[in-house]
Amino acid sequence: VFTLGERIKRDADRVDIAEDPDDLGRSFIVKNDDGGGCLMPTAAAYGEWCLVYPQPDRVSDPAREGVLATLQAFEDAATGPDPGDPQTGVFAHLDLDSAVDWVLLQELSKNNDAYFLSVHLYRDLDGPLRLLPWDLDLAYGGYPVNNCDATGWVSYRTAMIQAFAATPEFQQRLVERWGELRAGPLAEDALLERVHTCRDILGDEAHANFEVWAMDEIEFSWDGINWLCPVATYDEEMARLDDWLVSRLAWMDANIQAF
């Protein structure tokens, strides 16, 4: 079994943002990374902001300066003395509903990489910054081994996430939106049906996959530790995932007001 995925790029079927006719950096996509040599270091997130669009080797100087100015204003707001202020804080620059949905997805999946690395921001001309989901492979109770259960918030919080949590409007909308989603696509039956549909599509090929790559030989080692949450068989993992999702939904129902 192989996985094919599209990277986050400017495209009519991916991130459909307008091209800046004046080439002043008003439309852009950036991602959070720590490889060095990117656009600018970040104090609000982790590592650096790296250009995705315009491409780093093609961006004009005026466009680069425009992107830098927008990001610096956002950074200053997120790390300033009152990040929750509606006029000068983080949501003076970032779309609130985008941030709410993004946080709920990260927390539902209890994504180990939720708030550092792979964080993507985009801007469409003179609109607000928006967050994009990406990189959820170390999630849903599968990693790391010391945090396999379905309880607790994602533990690592950057200054940006702390700014969200310090904003009453964000907290209120987070609770409201969670209730809306739980009555629709994140209702227990709806979510499990989506998982089971994916499972049905894989069919017997999933078992054939593990005949080639045996389950007990799969590990992700770091410092001599296999960091994947332990399971013995594919069927055991599928049952564990169902149970984990049901438990995660219940835990977030009980704790969403305390994010």
Sign of CA dihedral 158, 104, 101, 86: negative
How far is 99 from 106, CA to CA, in rounded Å? 11
- Residue 2 has a pLDDT of 86
Tell me the per-residue pLDDT of 182-196, one tens digit each, with 9 for 90 and over: 999 999 999 999 999
Q: Flag whether pLDDT at 124 surpasses 90.
A: yes
How far is 143 from 216, CA to CA, in rounded Å? 16
Segment 195-201 mean pLDDT: 95
When pLDDT is cut at 50, 70 and 90, the band that residue 4 belongs to is confident
Tell me phi and psi for residue 49, to 5 degrees. -95, 130
Tell me the per-residue pLDDT of 5-51, one tens digit each, with 9 for 90 and over: 888 999 999 999 999 999 999 999 999 988 888 999 999 999 999 99
Asked if 91 and 167 touch (Cβ cutoff 8 Å), the reply is: yes
Tell me the per-residue pLDDT of 207-254, one tens digit each, with 9 for 90 and over: 999 999 998 888 888 888 999 998 889 999 999 999 999 999 999 999
Q: Which residues pair with 32 in a beta bridge?
A: 49
How far is 209 from 33, CA to CA, in rounded Å? 32
In the block, tokens 């967050």 appear at 131
- Residue 98 has a pLDDT of 97
The percentage of the chain sitting over the pLDDT mark of 70, rounded to a whole number, equals: 100
Query: CB burial class (10 A; 0-12, 13-18, 19+) of residue 50?
Result: buried
Residue 256, CB half-sphere, CA atoms under 13 Å: how many? 22
- Residue 104 has a pLDDT of 98
When pLDDT is cut at 50, 70 and 90, the band that residue 117 belongs to is confident
- Residue 256 has a pLDDT of 98
Tell me the per-residue pLDDT of 57-68, one tens digit each, with 9 for 90 and over: 999 999 999 999
- Residue 22 has a pLDDT of 96
Q: Flag whether pLDDT at 131 surpasses 90.
A: yes
Tell how strand 225-226 and strand 130-132 pair up.
unpaired
Tell me the per-residue pLDDT of 138-190, one tens digit each, with 9 for 90 and over: 999 999 998 899 999 999 999 999 999 999 999 999 999 999 999 999 999 99
